[in-house]
Amino acid sequence: MSGELEVVHRFSPETILGATVVTVATLGAFSRYLNQYLKSGKFFWREMIANYVVSMFAAFMFALFIYSFWPGVRPTVVILAAGTGSYFGDKAMITIFDFIKTQMKIQQKEEAVTQAKPKTRAKKVTIDTENHE
């Protein structure tokens, strides 16, 4: 025995990343509601729970969006995306929807261009090189 401690990993990196995303999303949801509370001075449990549900879903979708569209992205960026999505809630969802809609329109245009057949054919032109008058 060399005196070194053996480190036992009980959780996979994906599990740790997922737990961190949930924690950051929760903090984002509460900071968003706290910001609203500080501006209005009114606190409602139902509104806080509704805000939490929307923010958590938005955080999950925003983090999944970043993770899916940019393979090999660093875990820090996924965590940052979760916090951003959580804080902005429905606005983050609208941003994702607009991006996907734009990408689909671009893809449809590209497919239409590659599938389009030429409507006019080039006319064959012959030049008479022997009669130069």
The answer to whether the beta carbons of residues 21 and 63 sit under 8 Å apart is yes
Percent of the chain with pLDDT over 90: 0
**Does residue 36 form part of some domain?**
yes
**Does residue 128 form part of some domain?**
no
Q: Which amino acid is at 101?
A: K
Question: 1-23: per-residue pLDDT in tens?
Answer: 556 766 566 777 777 888 888 88
**Does residue 44 form part of some domain?**
yes
Q: How many structural domains does the chain have?
A: 1
Give the C-alpha separation, 100 to 92, whole Å: 12
**Does residue 131 form part of some domain?**
no
Domain assignment of residue 63, given as a range: 13-115
Question: 67-87: per-residue pLDDT in tens?
Answer: 888 878 888 888 888 888 888
Structure-token pair, residue 118: 């030429």
**Does residue 127 form part of some domain?**
no
DSSP string for residues in 68-104: HHSTT--HHHHHHHHHHHHHHTHHHHHHHHHHHHHHH
Question: 28-37: per-residue pLDDT in tens?
Answer: 888 888 888 8
**Does residue 132 form part of some domain?**
no
